[in-house]
Structure formats: structure tokens, C-alpha cells
């Protein structure tokens, strides 16, 4: 039973806003490091590739570390667990701000990333309990709105702040966002969020079911399709479109607005018809990416394509997260957290695949075709999953009784 069903809850919007504020802070600290890499590398006397490993270390910590934290907190009160995770987030960013060497900064990033996956995993489950069943994907989208807004507001302003006052200032600012989010969670989250009984063997069986594994694999491929191109969007816009650094910032803002719009659209589509929506989004995403190979040569068409691409790419997130939660009904928290790891694994795979393509001689304007191929693989798995749903529904349908034709 959701809290919306029971009626014993605070107004829905405030708890969701608190979750969104927390996701804004987490999203900012995840992505802002990319804009701060030159400053970090110079200050800590490391190379740019070494500084880039701070991004890799974060993603891998989300992928492989967060599930263990989810298991460790499975029996704890949901509200206090979210507050505990925000405490880890604040402490991790404070350590980033005061890090005196590269390895302390790396350790702080890894610790902060543990909070990332566990918070989004548990937060998605909590958000879905705050509303009626037919609005659960929209509630998850509301929480993830903070993540999309981090790309629109948090990352550009955080980068500008770091360039003006030093990169450590950015992490102090993000710590402040964490404190504000923790206060909002403490004030607005219901005190009576249900804690499901945990049976670890049953949960393990649930998250290894065919449909859950398929949903997570689709999440990996959706994210890989995005990051195989987005990781190299700055050199694409600089070398192919011919834009200045200032113009590139504007283009990234346009892309971020697309992400935000797509997040809310995906939430509504997920509540309407989940898997048909995922399939439809993939079908539109592939030609849009293919078109970007051509429009990337021209400023205005590239801007339009970036907006549409961003909207489509992030419209997949909430439905896929909801798919995992509903299919792993016996282990929603653990499955939701692992799916966050799946998205981050896709980030790493996509960035790696794009880098391999460039190393092998692929031109920047050809990278969108790699995104198309990964999206196509995601579409195939989505069709397989949808077909399995249809087979299961058919087999579960009661067979009409044969008419009694015996003579009387």
C-alpha cells in the first residue's frame, strides 16, 4: 500500500521537492568535475587523463558499491536512511573541498558516489509510495528533475564559480546544497514511510528474474547510447560545428533544457503505457541521432537536434526505473539501486566505446551512428521484454470452457 492510499502523509509535493533538491545536489557534484578538470589537474599536479579518472572512479563506485550500501540499509527506517545518505554526501563533498592530494580527492569522490546510487535507488521507491499507483512514474520523474536541472543550472554555475574562486569553492557550495536538502528531507518526508520485510534470498531471486535483467540491460544500452556521443559533445561542437567555448556552453544549456523536458514527458508516458512508450522513444531516438551526424555541421539545426535528442534520451530514464521497480516487486529498493548502477555502467561503456571509435579513426560527426547502434540494441531488448509480457498475459488468461455438446 502506498502512503497516498493510506492518506497518512504530508502533502505529496513537498516530499518530492525535497527529493528533487537532493538529486540536484548529487547530479551537480557528479557532472561538475568535468568542467573543473583543468583546474583540479593543475592544482594537484596531475595530468588531465589522471584527473579524468575521478569521473571513472565515481561511476564505478555507483555501479559496484551502491548495491552493498542498499543491502546494509535494507531494514532501516526509510526516512532516516535517506538522511544518513545525505550525511555521507555532505561529508564527501567537504572532503573534496579540503583534499590536499589526488588520492584523497579520489577517495572522497568514491565515498560520495556510494550515496549517489543508494539515494536514487531508495528515493525512487519512496517517491512511488507517496502517490497513487497511476502516478508513480511521474513521481519518480519529479525526483529525477533535480538531476536534469543540475545539468541546466548546477554544472554551468558550478563551473563558473570554480573558475572564478577556485575549484574547491564549488564543492563547498555543493555541500551547502546538501545541507539544505537534508533539512528539507527532515522537515517534509513523512514519518511513517513503510519499511518492507526483507528476505535476502527472495530478493536475490527477484532481481535475477528475466524481466528485471532485461530492464537493467535496456538501461545500460540507453545510457551507453547517450554517452557514446555526449562525452565528446564539446569537441564535436568545436571541431564540426565550429563554435566558440561560450557558444558551446549555450548549446549545452539547450541540451539540458531538453533533458528536463524529456524527464517529465517520460514520466507521463511511463504512467500511460510503459513498455510501448520505451519502444516508441527508441524508434524516434535512432533517426534523431542519425540526423545529428548531418545537422552537427550547422549551428541552428544542431541546436534543435540537441534539444530533441536530450528530451528523447532522458524520457527513457523514469519509465525504465519504474519498470525495474515494478518487475522486482519483492526487492524494489535493491533493484532500483542496482539499476542506477546500470545507468552508470552505461555511462562508462558509452564513453569507452566513443573513445575506441575515435582511436580507430572515426570522425567526430560519425559518433552519432555509434549512438544509433547502441539504441538499436536497446530497442531489440525492449521488444523482447514486451513480447514476454504478452506471452505471460496470454498464458495467464483463463481458457473458456468447452461447450457441452453431448446429446441429451
Q: State the chain's mean pLDDT as an integer.
A: 84
In a domain, 51, yes or no: yes
Selected residue with higher pLDDT from 392 and 120: 120
Q: Which of 67-81, 161-175, 346-360 has the highest mean pLDDT?
A: 161-175
In a domain, 222, yes or no: yes
Parent domain of 131: 1-195
In a domain, 398, yes or no: no
The whole-angstrom separation of Cα 116 and Cα 110 is 10
Question: What pLDDT is recorded for position 206?
Answer: 64
Q: Mean of the pLDDT values across residues 344-369?
A: 86
Domain total in the chain: 2
Question: What pLDDT is recorded for position 273?
Answer: 86
The whole-angstrom separation of Cα 408 and Cα 406 is 6
Q: Mean of the pLDDT values across residues 165-175?
A: 94
Residue owning grid cell 532481481: 207
Q: Mean of the pLDDT values across residues 371-387?
A: 95
Q: Do 385 and 296 share a structural domain?
A: yes
Question: What pLDDT is recorded for position 305?
Answer: 97
Selected residue with higher pLDDT from 141 and 368: 368
Q: Do 185 and 114 share a structural domain?
A: yes
The whole-angstrom separation of Cα 389 and Cα 396 is 11
The whole-angstrom separation of Cα 16 and Cα 318 is 14
Tell me the per-residue pLDDT of 174-231, one tens digit each, with 9 for 90 and over: 999 999 999 999 999 998 877 666 655 666 666 778 888 999 999 999 999 998 888 7
Q: Is the pLDDT of residue 276 over 90?
A: yes
323 within 8 A of 129, measured Cβ to Cβ: no
| Residue 166 backbone class (left: φ over 0; alpha: ψ -120 to 50; beta: rest) | left
CATH number at residue 309: 1.20.1250.20
Q: Do 140 and 14 share a structural domain?
A: yes
Q: From 72, 403, 345, select the one nearest 221 (Cα to Cα).
A: 345
Question: What pLDDT is recorded for position 405?
Answer: 46
Q: At what angle do helices 317-327 and 299-315 cross, to 10 degrees?
A: 10
Q: Mean of the pLDDT values across residues 14-30?
A: 93
Q: Do 246 and 121 share a structural domain?
A: no
Q: Do 350 and 285 share a structural domain?
A: yes
In this prediction, residue 5 has a pLDDT band, given cuts at 50, 70 and 90, of very low
The whole-angstrom separation of Cα 158 and Cα 385 is 40
In this prediction, residue 9 has a pLDDT band, given cuts at 50, 70 and 90, of very low
Q: Do 161 and 23 share a structural domain?
A: yes
In a domain, 27, yes or no: yes
Tell me the per-residue pLDDT of 70-122, one tens digit each, with 9 for 90 and over: 777 777 888 999 999 999 999 999 999 999 999 999 999 998 988 887 888 78
In this prediction, residue 6 has a pLDDT band, given cuts at 50, 70 and 90, of very low
The whole-angstrom separation of Cα 221 and Cα 215 is 10
The whole-angstrom separation of Cα 375 and Cα 292 is 14
Q: Which of 194-198, 221-225, 242-246, 334-338 has the highest mean pLDDT?
A: 221-225
Residue ending a domain, among 154, 174, 195, is 195
Q: Do 151 and 18 share a structural domain?
A: yes
| Residue 298 backbone class (left: φ over 0; alpha: ψ -120 to 50; beta: rest) | beta
Residue ending a domain, among 195, 223, 241, is 195
Chain centroid to CA 387: 26
Q: Do 223 and 111 share a structural domain?
A: no
Selected residue with higher pLDDT from 316 and 8: 316
Q: Mean of the pLDDT values across residues 298-304?
A: 96
Q: Do 379 and 352 share a structural domain?
A: yes
Longest dimension (CA), the chain: 97
Q: Do 60 and 3 share a structural domain?
A: yes
Q: Is the pLDDT of residue 408 over 50?
A: no
In this prediction, residue 62 has a pLDDT band, given cuts at 50, 70 and 90, of confident
Question: What value does the CA radius of gyration of the chain take, rounded to a whole number of Å?
Answer: 22
Cell output for 155: 554544472
Q: Do 236 and 125 share a structural domain?
A: no
Residue ending a domain, among 195, 211, 244, is 195
In this prediction, residue 8 has a pLDDT band, given cuts at 50, 70 and 90, of very low
Question: What pLDDT is recorded for position 396?
Answer: 64
In a domain, 326, yes or no: yes
The whole-angstrom separation of Cα 158 and Cα 150 is 10
Q: Is the pLDDT of residue 352 over 90?
A: no
124 within 8 A of 321, measured Cβ to Cβ: yes
In sign, the C-alpha dihedral spanning 97, 98, 100, 102 is negative
In a domain, 403, yes or no: no
Q: Do 302 and 274 share a structural domain?
A: yes
Q: Mean of the pLDDT values across residues 298-322?
A: 93
The whole-angstrom separation of Cα 136 and Cα 12 is 12
Question: What pLDDT is recorded for position 243?
Answer: 87
In a domain, 106, yes or no: yes
In this prediction, residue 68 has a pLDDT band, given cuts at 50, 70 and 90, of confident
In a domain, 408, yes or no: no
Amino acid at each position: 500500500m502506498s502512503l497516498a492510499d493510506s492518506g497518512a502523509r504530508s502533502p505529496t509535493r513537498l516530499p518530492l521537492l525535497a527529493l528533487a533538491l537532493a538529486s540536484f545536489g548529487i547530479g551537480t557534484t557528479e557532472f561538475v568535475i568535468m568542467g573543473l578538470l583543468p583546474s583540479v589537474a593543475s592544482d594537484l599536479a596531475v595530468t588531465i587523463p589522471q584527473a579524468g579518472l575521478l569521473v571513472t572512479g565515481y561511476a564505478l563506485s555507483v555501479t559496484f558499491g551502491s548495491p552493498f550500501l542498499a543491502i546494509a540499509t535494507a531494514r532501516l527506517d526509510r526516512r532516516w536512511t535517506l538522511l544518513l545518505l545525505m550525511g555521507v554526501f555532505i561529508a564527501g563533498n567537504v572532503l573534496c573541498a579540503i583534499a590536499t592530494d589526488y588520492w584523497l580527492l579520489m577517495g572522497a569522490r568514491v565515498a560520495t558516489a556510494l550515496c549517489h546510487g543508494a539515494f536514487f535507488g531508495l528515493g525512487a521507491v519512496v517517491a512511488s509510495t507517496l502517490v497513487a499507483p497511476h502516478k508513480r512514474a511521474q513521481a519518480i520523474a519529479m525526483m529525477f528533475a533535480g538531476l536534469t536541472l543540475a545539468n541546466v543550472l548546477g554544472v554551468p554555475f558550478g563551473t563558473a564559480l570554480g573558475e572564478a574562486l577556485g575549484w574547491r569553492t564549488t564543492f563547498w557550495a555543493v555541500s551547502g546544497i546538501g545541507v539544505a536538502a537534508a533539512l528539507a528531507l527532515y522537515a517534509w518526508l513523512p514519518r511513517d514511510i513503510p519499511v518492507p520485510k526483507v528476505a535476502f534470498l527472495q530478493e536475490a531471486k527477484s532481481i535475477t528474474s528475466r524481466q528485471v535483467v532485461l530492464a537493467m540491460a535496456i538501461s545500460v544500452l540507453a545510457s551507453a547510447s547517450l554517452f557514446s556521443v555526449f562525452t565528446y559533445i564539446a569537441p564535436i561542437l568545436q571541431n564540426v560545428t565550429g563554435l566558440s567555448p561560450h557558444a558551446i556552453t549555450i548549446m549545452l544549456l539547450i541540451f539540458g533544457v531538453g533533458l528536463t523536458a524529456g524527464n517529465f514527458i517520460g514520466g507521463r508516458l511511463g504512467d500511460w503505457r510503459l513498455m510501448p512508450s520505451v519502444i516508441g522513444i527508441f524508434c524516434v531516438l535512432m533517426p534523431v541521432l542519425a540526423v545529428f551526424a548531418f545537422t552537427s555541421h550547422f549551428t541552428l539545426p544542431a541546436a534543435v537536434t540537441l534539444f530533441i535528442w536530450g528530451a528523447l534520451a532522458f524520457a527513457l530514464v523514469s519509465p525504465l526505473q519504474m519498470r525495474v521497480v515494478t518487475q522486482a516487486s519483492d526487492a524494489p529498493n535493491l533493484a532500483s539501486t542496482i539499476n542506477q548502477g546500470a545507468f552508470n555502467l552505461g555511462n562508462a561503456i558509452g564513453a569507452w566505446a566513443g573513445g575506441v571509435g575515435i582511436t580507430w579513426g572515426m570522425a567526430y560527426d560519425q559518433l552519432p551512428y555509434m549512438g544509433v547502434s547502441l539504441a538499436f540494441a536497446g530497442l531489440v531488448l525492449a521488444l523482447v521484454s514486451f513480447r514476454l509480457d504478452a506471452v505471460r498475459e496470454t498464458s495467464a488468461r483463463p481458457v473458456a470452457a468447452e461447450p457441452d455438446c453431448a446429446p441429451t
